Amino acid sequence: MEKKIPRRLEGKVAIVTASTQGIGFGIIERLGLEGASVIVSSRKQANVEEAVEKLKSQGIDAYGIVCHVSNAQHRKNLVEKTVQKYGKIDIVVCNAAANPSTDPILSSKEVVLDKLWEINVKSSILLLQDVAPHLEKGSSVIFITSIAGFQPQGAMAMYGVTKTALLGLTKALAAEMGPDTRVNAVAPGFVPTHFASFITGNSEVREGIEEKTLLNRLGTTGDMAAAAAFLASEDASYITGETLVVAGGMPSRL
């Protein structure tokens, strides 16, 4: 039976970074289906156009802007064009992330450490500096962190540490941006997307992960999108500074 999607976001304007595929696309699609006008962005024009077409074919009001989150001019352009078109911003989902290397932390090159920090943490802060003056009362910021932020290890150790930083950033910005803006995070478990293909593409590894969950399955982009839409909606109006772990029961304590 198909789930009926509520329309909780009518009249809202939502920006989602890195939203042309994977979890980002799942989130922007869900926000659009709930009635929001959505701004699709990622690094490549062709991907942006393709995603916008997919969304429009479902009756979603979608607008695409190329944005490489580590490029200051791109970030400003993303915010300016959104405000020109819609006059305001209600929801920002910071989803862009990179994992350029699977080296152990003590073997990681400085350029890799810089890129991890820049894409996964710093660029979200700088984007929100540009966005903040345009946020409406009752607005919502959502960081996409990771189950790896709670126990960073293995091939995802340093990536995980940057996701741990987002758990702290969620708390810090909830204090700084309240009461007009709520700030929360979604921590996905393992979701088979292009980004996670090095984990979920190998059937043995995949089965090992499935066994670590209590629900005996990997997550879906829809699972993550439902959590983000809830946090963005008025249903979560008394929730701020929190991280919602959507990981099938995998352990999640710092």
- Tokens 């090159």 belong to 109
Task: Give every CB contact of residue 107 below 8 A, 6+ residues apart in sequence.
Answer: none
The answer to whether the beta carbons of residues 19 and 27 sit under 8 Å apart is: yes
**Of 63, 88, 40, 34, nearest in space to 232 by CA:** 34
Task: Give every CB contact of residue 86 below 8 A, 6+ residues apart in sequence.
Answer: 13, 37
Q: Is the dihedral of CA 17, 18, 19, 23 positive or negative?
A: negative
**DSSP secondary structure of 82-121:** HHHHHS-EEEEEE----------GGG--HHHHHHHHIIII
- Tokens 């992330």 belong to 97
Query: Which two three-digit tokens encode residue 174?
Result: 């909830």
Residues with a catalytic annotation lie at 159
**Of 218, 221, 224, 241, nearest in space to 187 by CA:** 224
